Amino acid sequence: MSKLGLKEKLRDFDQMQSRVRAARVATSNDVLERLLGGEEREGCFVVERRFALHEAHGPIRLAQLFEVSGAALGIAAKDASLQQLQSRHTLFIDIETTGLAGGAGTLAFLLGLGSFEDEHFIVRQYFLRQPHEEAAMLTALQRHMSQAQALVSFNGKSFDIPLLASRAILNRMRIDFSLLPHLDVLHASRRLWKERVPDCSLGNLETHILGKTRGEDVPGYMIPQIYFDFVRTGKTDQLAEIFAHNRQDLVTTAALLAYLGHLVQSPFKWQASREELRKVGRLYREAGELDASTALFENLLATDEASRQREDDLALGFCYKSQRRYEDASLVWERVIERYAFHPLPFIELAKYLEHRAKDYARALEMVQRALRALNMMEGLRASPEVLVYKKDLQRREVRLQKKL
């Protein structure tokens, strides 16, 4: 009997490993099919669920996302590339990983993708029974991305997409995520609700904005260990809970997007709170939608005198200024000075108007000097540095105006 060389031994070992791997996958398929109801597809295990679009998720139905224009979503996301987006063609993405640190050692073992098809929101979950199936999962992601107009995630810009991009590189694949606009619902939610919900986690937003409370949910810190136990021993305890958690995250992300989209598109129709109206008005102004922003702040200031804030008046004044309605803006600055005599900004804006538009240098100088007196008093009261930064501007303006008189 001839002795095998090293090359032949390695080949036999490889073949044995392949047989062991195939047997393990076949066994896990049977277990997973019974547990999760999925099937082998595209080189990994896939679970698919359909959600009716008319089903209520707190105050919103997923079907109502189709009523939101790309323009409104672009304003909410502060991303002009979303202007022409049709929400039916978005791809929602959420991953479960072997750790939160990211980097080359972190694996996305469950890829959840949500899309609208045949009047349903369909969630497809690609699961790695073994890490070597990762390339197949990434290939499936590429295919889904090629059929979408935009990506939607929750914190995906900071976590999901960078991790998947690094995994693609390690698999010698190229997935160009920059080809699709990416709407991160976390960032849009923070712009509207960070005061109301300081910790804008998806679970907190689900509870405080959508008014929904999840049942028993697998804690995030346990998810990596549950997967490691499955890979090493075939143990499936709580595996179904990870899939349910991932599905619910995708559905909640879609519901939140529909809700905040409507809030931005039709804030009065959706009975937005004063704080939400204030935030939407600022978003419109930052997007250059000055007529809409002006209308919002005019409404805010006309409805409830007791709840008005200095920032509302200032925002309206800047809207008028951007619209070149300088006289209207000057009336706002005067009103703010009467109500909030110790803030320098309205003095500065009124002084600008008086100097450059009305050419009333004496009155402009009066405004500057009143502001400086107010700042001197505030310095004695240890006012915040952000207010005191106006002092140098006012001093320069005072010198210039004195030369003009």
Residue after which a domain boundary falls, among 210, 242, 265: 265
Higher pLDDT, 169 or 13: 169
CATH number of the structural domain spanning residue 189: 3.30.420.10
Q: What's residue 9's pLDDT?
A: 44
What Cα–Cα distance (Å) separates residue 336 from each residue in 331, 348, 361?
A: 9, 12, 21
Q: What are phi and psi of 50, to 5 degrees?
A: -115, 140
How many folded domains does the chain comprise? 2
Render pLDDT for 88-124 as a digit per residue (tens, 0 to 9).
999 999 999 998 776 668 999 999 999 999 899 999 9
> What is the predicted pLDDT for the residue at 102?
67
* Phi–psi pair at 13, nearest 5 degrees: -65, -40
- State percent of the chain over pLDDT 90: 73
The per-residue pLDDT for 19 is 44
pLDDT at 11: 61
Using DSSP, state whether 112 is helix, strand or coil.
Answer: strand
Report d(CA 245, CA 219) in Å as an integer: 9
- DSSP string across 319-382: HHHHTT-HHHHHHHHHHHHHH-TT-HHHHHHHHHHHHHTS--HHHHHHHHHHHHHHHHHHHHTT
Q: Are residues 139 and 255 both part of a single domain?
A: yes
CA distance 318 to 326: 9
Residue range 211-239, pLDDT digits in tens: 998 877 898 889 999 999 999 988 998 99
Q: Answer yes or no: is pLDDT of 14 > 80.
A: no
3-state secondary structure of 399: helix
Same domain, 261 and 321: no
Q: Give the domain range for residue 34.
A: 28-265
Beta-bridge partners for 241: none
- pTM as predicted: 0.87
Question: Residues of the chain with pLDDT > 70: what percent?
Answer: 89
Do 185 and 58 belong to one domain? yes
Q: Is there a single domain that holds both residue 212 and residue 283?
A: no
Asked, for residue 12, whether it belongs to a domain, the answer is no
> Is 356 a domain residue?
yes
Contact 77/183 with Cβ under 8 angstroms? yes
359 lies in some domain? yes
Closest CA to 124 of 218, 183, 38: 38
Determine phi and psi for 171, rounding to 5 degrees.
Answer: -95, 10
Residue 155, in any domain of the structure: yes
At residue 275, does pLDDT exceed 70? yes
pLDDT for position 375: 84
Structural domain contains residue 83 = yes
